[in-house]
Amino acid sequence: MDYYNYHRRKSSIVHIGDTPLGGEYPIRIQSMTNTSTLDTTGSVEQCIRIIQAGADYVRLTAQGVREAENLGEIKQALIARGYRTPLVADIHFNPKAADAAACTVDKVRINPGNFVDSARTFKQINYTDDEYAAELQRLRDRFVAFLNICKEQHTAIRLGVNHGSLSDRIMSRYGDTPEGMVESCMEFLRICREENFDDVVISIKASNTVVMVQTVRLLIKRMNSEGMSYPLHLGVTEAGDGEDGRIKSAVGIGTLLADGIGDTIRVSLSEAPEAEVPVARKLVDYITRRAGHTPIAAPLISLEQIASRQKDLCETIGRGQQPVVIADGIPEEGTKADFYYTRDKASNGNARYIVDYRHYHGETNTYPLFRATELDKLEGVKAPIHFLQADTAELSEELLDQLSRETNVVLLLSSHHTNPVGDIRAALARLAMTGNKLPVVLMVHYREANSEDLQVKAGADFGPFLLDNLIDGIFLRNEGEIPAQSLISYMFTILQAARKRFSKTEYISCPSCGRTMFDLQTTIARVKAATSHLTGLKIGIMGCIVNGPGEMADADYGYVGAGRNRVSLYKGKACIEKNIPEEQAIEKLIALIKVNGDWCDPV
């Protein structure tokens, strides 16, 4: 894979109604309804809102055969109103529902973790090789029966692997690992190939962006080694809502799109389904406009080799320290940046400031900034740290040679290339090849008036470097009406989304669907109101048990829909209280956090 020059991965083509996927076709956008699939009128109206927002596919849950059969009624009602957008059935635990759905819709999503295997119980099972082979044969027999229906009905399928719903069988042999997620998918893909069934899309998702990106890359390597090129659906599960959900999705999905990976995406927000579509469209358009860019030359080294570059420690920057945040202006109320660039003077207080070197006079907590053309002035200015600002185009061989002899210098690196991700990667590769040990802060400049646009673009630009451990800090700059304090918030949210630095409570919340047992948006607001001061704590808010306990293995506490207006509370993977009336659940969640010593009162 070329990590420097953008081009789409070449995948096979999947036929889904009148909207094919993969190959040279555009990256498709999709969303999912949260109505009851038995509510024909409500589902039709929501499908229309999603379609009018720009979705290429609409997915609906089908818990049982009745729901699967009613998808046919929904489809006919949409056709009668002039809408032929392909419909997708979402199936968990119920192969009979998958069979029925294959006769009514254009594509059926099944979950390899629970299509044949029992629901996940987190039990370790010690299989002999013969016993494991017998389980695979049982899986094959049932899956082939489903494939035969799909062949007859010309129905595509999606193999949707979720980190939160790997089977106990896979977990027992491979553990809770990217390898286990990939093998869960490959078992089914091998059967598809043996049965000459090609209309297959794959998704392999996690709420943890690091796991999600690592696993998708591993899946592609595994498919390549076995001669497969199936198209990929991308998404970050349980991304949340608002700023958090948009940035987390952009970090994970944007990193893979920048590598040319992905044929369809869903941005999973805990909001109205139609709100997901414009966010996804912005993300796809922002990345794909890089196609056909001026070629980028780079040393032939891997991202892992770039990440292993030795770095100096400049106070709190570099050599294994958590990434820093640099902001323009002076500190305001709210989350504080690590450094503030004020150009010509330091302000009062305990903050650390960066000023142009001509205005630096040795003040405490103040550091000089030099441009690449001013490197010869650096030696004459004594300071604990020197910051050097350079564009990738300025990194000549001569400058790289000079920088290789410098210490106590932090490089503020920027790019004006159409493909900034590839261009910055190439510059970092050149630093690695020339033995440079300078810590690098990535500086990206935008001109955005819309907050959502900036959240999406910044998440997609900074995400690849943080997820691959390539940089030591971030500096988001913007010319527009967005407040400076919002820019600082976005930077810390990006760092948290990339699992590099936790500065607030993290909420792992599902996007809601027809399985959800309570009003998700209201519930999220109530949980946040009670717990948002618990910095660093991870709380899962899940509408049902399909992915709840599994995705919450990465959370400290979980709030999961157990029945209509009933909630179960979890500590990690363990269910502590079951079927609590919803009106008591917040109070009991707080009590659970307190009894485990993780509570502190709001300041």
Kindly list the structural domains of the chain, giving each domain's residue range(s) and its CATH number in brackets, ordered by start.
13-288 (3.20.20.20), 303-497 (3.20.20), 506-595 (3.30.413.10)
∠ CA(39), CA(40), CA(45), 5° rounding? Answer: 100
Rounded Cα distance, 187 and 179, in Å? 12
Q: Kindly tell me the sign of the dihedral angle through the C-alpha atoms of 113, 116, 119, 121.
A: negative
- Phi and psi at residue 280, in whole multiples of 5°? -60, -40
Asked if residue 178 lies in contact with residue 218, where contact means CB atoms within 8 angstroms, the answer is yes
Name every residue whose Cβ is closer than 8 Å to that of residue 175 and which is 6 or more positions away in sequence.
none
* Residues in the chain, pLDDT under 70: 119-122, 348, 512, 514-515, 517, 545-553
| b (16+ CB within 10 A) / e for 122-132 | eeeeeeeeeee
Place of tokens 């109205």: 272
- Phi and psi at residue 76, in whole multiples of 5°? -65, -35
Q: Which tokens hold the place of 231?
A: 């198209």
Residue 550 is predicted with a pLDDT of 60
Residue 368 is predicted with a pLDDT of 97
| b (16+ CB within 10 A) / e for 502-533 | ebbbbbbbbbbbbbbbbebeebbebbbebbee
Closest CA to 374 of 363, 386, 365: 386
